[in-house]
Amino acid sequence: MGGYLGWGNESKSERKYSQFELRQRWEVTEAATQFHRIFNVGLLGFVGEVETVFSPPASVGFLFKFGPGMREPFARLIDERMFPPRTLDAALRSSAPAPGKVIPDNPGLNNRDAWWRSAAAGAAIGASFREGGTQTSVHIAFNKDECDVHVDRNGFVLPVGGGNTQWDLNGLLRHMTIDLAGDKAPWALLSVGYVNSRNRPIFQATLSPWLAVDLPSRETGDRTAVKVGIAITGSFGGR
């Protein structure tokens, strides 16, 4: 229980903290809770060693090494389509896997959204997936050894059916000026919060630059309006 004030790089590394201390961090609890909300499976069962805990003003979450033998079941949970049938007979007998619960940033070169979804992956450590919608969005990226699970404050990918997506312009701008800035330029943001005795944030708030673009429409008189200011994002109210 207690408050925090985050400015600059507040992440916690295994070089300075024990595995017990890292696993007890509220940021790990929050990422695991949001992961369970989507998959109904515990996240920590896949974790071998926590390497870094991401603290506000960065998007909260953590980077970890997979436990022995846990990488493949994790990948299957995220997206069964990553494991095509190995033989022709298996392919003929199998049905097409259903779309996953999270959206891949790289859907393949033949997908009409490939260029911008690949760009959205940014500096992800490997295969990158994110929760659809424009609100809080779980972002998962992993390679053969490591996995990064964190909770972006702003989503921007909207599924539209048929495996296709569209992006929300202002959601993308919020993601860039809040989530990516918190990760890459944390000195530009200020974050405050309070964590309860159950290791859950009662409230968390981040003060950041704000940029929005209203595209031409009847409501804007067919003009493009660009707005700048200060944004406060986060979650408020005990849980």
State the average pLDDT over residues 81-90: 55
Q: Strand 190-195 to strand 12-13: parallel, antiparallel, or no bridges (unpaired)?
A: unpaired
**Whose CA is closest to 23, among 54, 2, 44?**
44
Q: What are phi and psi of 125, to 5 degrees?
A: -80, -5
Q: Which residue has the tokens 């918190």?
A: 182
List the beta bridge partners of residue 105.
Answer: none
pLDDT higher than 80, residue 127: yes
Length of the chain: 239
* Burial 119-156, CB ≥16 within 10 A → b, else e: ebbeebeebbbbbbbbebbbbbbbeeebbbbbbbbbbb
> Quick one: what percent of the chain has pLDDT higher than 70?
79
pLDDT in tens, 87-106: 555 444 444 445 678 988 87
Residues 6 or more apart in contact with residue 101 via CB below 8 angstroms: 38, 39, 131
pLDDT interval class at 23 (50, 70, 90): very high
Q: Where are the domains of the chain?
A: 2-188
Radius of gyration of the chain (CA): 19
Which residues are within 8 A (CB) of 23 and not within 5 positions of it... i.e. 6 or more apart? 44, 47, 50
**Backbone φ and ψ of 50, nearest 5°:** -80, 125
* Residues 195-214, mean pLDDT to the nearest whole number: 83
Instruction: Name the more confident of 114 and 94.
Output: 114
Dihedral-angle region of residue 122 (phi above 0 means left; psi in -120 to 50 means alpha; beta otherwise): left
Q: pLDDT by residue (tens digit) across 184-196?
A: 888 888 999 888 8
d(CA 199, CA 185): 27
Q: What is the mean pLDDT of the chain?
A: 83
Is residue 101 within 8 Å of residue 132, measured between CB atoms? Answer: no
The encoded tokens of residue 75 equal 């990948």
